[in-house]
Amino acid sequence: MKSSYISLLTTVSLLLLSGLNEAKAGIDNAQTNVKYLGTMSCTKYLPPTAKGARLFRLCDGKTKVIIAVEGVEPGEPMPRDIAQKVASTMLVAYEELKTSKLLAHKGTPHTPREENTFQSEVDRMIKKGYKLYHSPKLGTNGISCDMCHPDGSNTHPETYPKFQTQLKKAVLLREMINWCIENPLEGQKLDESGKEMKELEAYILSTRKGTPLEYGKH
Ligand code: HEC
């Protein structure tokens, strides 16, 4: 029952998108072994279509593009020229799906509920970062970041990555944050990919909203 539903969905989406297939003719140029077959946004199962058919996922967490890649085994890295063709095909399919009227849930603006969730989740992260930034808990001597950098002043997150003479190398903001935890605060470094570091970074970045990025600037 479930699998027939899935294959029906797949057939329907492949049929709906056959026009899209033709539009992709420019990309599926005959000398290459990369061929666009369709898009699946409703199921994670790959239909047994053409030889070498593979499912490629986009960054949006939803769109899956079916592309046949001949001559490269799944799990094997594709040569750069073929990988570029696959990536370009994925992008064209994504752009067309976004504006397509074929699938009702594509190209629609976010609902007020979604917007609220996006905003409240990011605000929650920033608020936690604000607390850490204003707390002596990151160190051992009672000093906190805000005592020298009120409201994130002079932290210049927009200038990272950049070369820091103290660290003798090009670093990301998080490495500079750790340097400041270890030095003026006399604390223990945070895990660079840990929750607290992400929250601190989020707060510091939020204080520079609208500032153009200028990596490397001193
Ligand atoms: C005692 C004062 C003091 C405290 C406390 C302090 N800093 Fe700093 N911080 C400085 C000074 C001074 C500099 C400038 C160093 C330089 O020119 O590279 C600096 C530089 C920085 C930079 C680099 C700025 C840039 O232009 O690249 C960042 C980021 C930073 N601090 C973040 C923090 C964070 C996060 C904390 C808390 C964990 C903190 N600082 C605590 C004084 C302080």
Q: What's the number of CA atoms in the CB half-sphere (13 Å) around residue 203?
A: 24
Nearest C-alpha to atom 42 of ligand 1 is from which residue? Answer: 148
For residue 202 and ligand 1, the question of a CB distance below 6 A is answered with no
Residue whose CA lies nearest to ligand 1 atom number 6 = 145
Residue with tokens 């046949």: 68
Distance CA 54, CA 48 (A): 10
> Distance between the two ends of the chain, CA-based, in angstroms?
63
Beta carbon of 167 within 6 Å of any ligand 1 atom: no
pLDDT digits (tens, 9 = 90+) for 16-48: 444 444 444 444 444 558 888 887 755 555 565
Q: What percent of the chain has pLDDT over 90?
A: 57
What is the CA(85)–ligand 1 centre distance, in A? 45
Quickly state the pLDDT bin for 9 (edges 50, 70, 90).
Answer: very low
For ligand 1, say whether the CB of 147 is within 6 Å of any of its atoms: yes
Q: How many CB atoms are located within 10 Å of the residue 155 CB?
A: 22
For residue 90, the model assigns a pLDDT of 92
State the pLDDT at residue 4: 47
Instruction: From the CA of 165, give the closest atom in ligand 1.
Output: 18
Residue extents of the structural domains in the chain: 2-99, 112-206
Find the radius of gyration of the CA atoms of the chain: 24
CATH code for the structural domain at 112-206: 1.10.760.10
Atom of ligand 1 nearest to the CA of 159: 27
Give the position, in ligand 1's atom list, of the atom nearest the Cα of 138.
38
Q: Whose CA is nearest to atom 39 of ligand 1?
A: 145
d(CA 149, ligand 1 centre) in Å: 7
Is any ligand 1 atom within 6 A of the Cβ of residue 15? no
Task: Look at residue 75 in the predicted model and tell me its pLDDT.
Answer: 84
